[in-house]
Structure 1
């Protein structure tokens, strides 16, 4: 099987996924993984697609370009021959955690938090950030879903993140995913 990585960006409107998925299906493709989101009014999606051996990514790219022109979307198709990183080749045993960051918006905030996570071998699997500006802490929220190696000393990681929080006047909370989900269920 050939694989393709497809990215779709543009102003949100109904029918984007329907149009893209239909073209993929018409070209014999199967969507294996999909992540789609809205950032304000911007639609964004990444799709991992398997294609039959006799199909070329160029054909799919050309067909998707027609959809892109009609709907004013930027669509890119890349053949995907996965090359494992050293981390993926020796993935440590991990535990899922959720980090929430609340506080005033600051330039470099994402860079600062993600750099400290990387220093501790933590892999970010998903980030959502909503920055509305201003000083109201609840108007600015980031949620990091991360995989923390079991070998990580959690108190060292928490101490490093607390130092970032104090310096940037933000609150960083770290919880195991199971605890986070349990607390969320109780709150609802």
Structure 2
């Protein structure tokens, strides 16, 4: 079995997800995980599909031929992480470059950013923009986890880090 990782972007219209799901089903693929979003009039997403060796090439071809979508597909064997994974919730005043600051710290502390979901909201009662993110990071060793959390908290005094090991 192979994993196909599909990313797409196109002007939002009804039926995009149904189109993709139908093609996956036609090729006996199994929709594994996904993150689909509507962003500023566009549909964007990333999907992981489990598919047999013999159906992988035709699945990729049909997905890439969906009209109106820019599609990238990578086909691989799934990776397993030997490291521990931790889940972090990050909250701070929003500012330009905050994701770069966070990702640089994770990299310098030998972490591998597995998943990042971020949003911006208005702070209740203050109206100031707040940055919120959920992250999953692969990192090996309790000491390295402690060092990572401390380094993240040192980015700025307004950054709050909640951790789940």
Query: Per-residue displacement from partner, 1:65-119 (whole Å, max 9, x unpaired)?
Result: 332x1xx1112222223466xxx3xx2334x33232321422x321111111222
Higher RCO (CA-CA < 8 Å; seq separation 6+): 2
Q: CA RMSD in A?
A: 3.0
- Give the distance between the partners of 1:3 and 1:153, measured in 2 at CA: 31
- Asked whether the 8 Å contact 2:6–2:46 carries over to 1, the reply is yes
In structure 1, C-alpha distance between the alignment counterparts of 2:94 and 2:20, rounded to whole Å: 38
Answer yes or no: is 1:160 the counterpart of 2:147. no
- The residue number in structure 1 matching 2:70 is 74
1:121 aligns to 2:117 (yes or no): no
> Is 1:101 aligned to 2:101, yes or no?
no
Greater Rg by CA: 1
The number of residue pairs the alignment matches comes to 161
Q: Which runs of 5+ in 2 are unaligned?
A: none
Rounded Cα–Cα distance in structure 1 between residues aligned with 2:133 and 2:53:
39
Which ranges of structure 1 fall in alignment gaps of 5 or more residues?
A: 179-188
Higher strand share: 2
For the residue of structure 1 that corresponds to 2:24, the secondary structure is helix
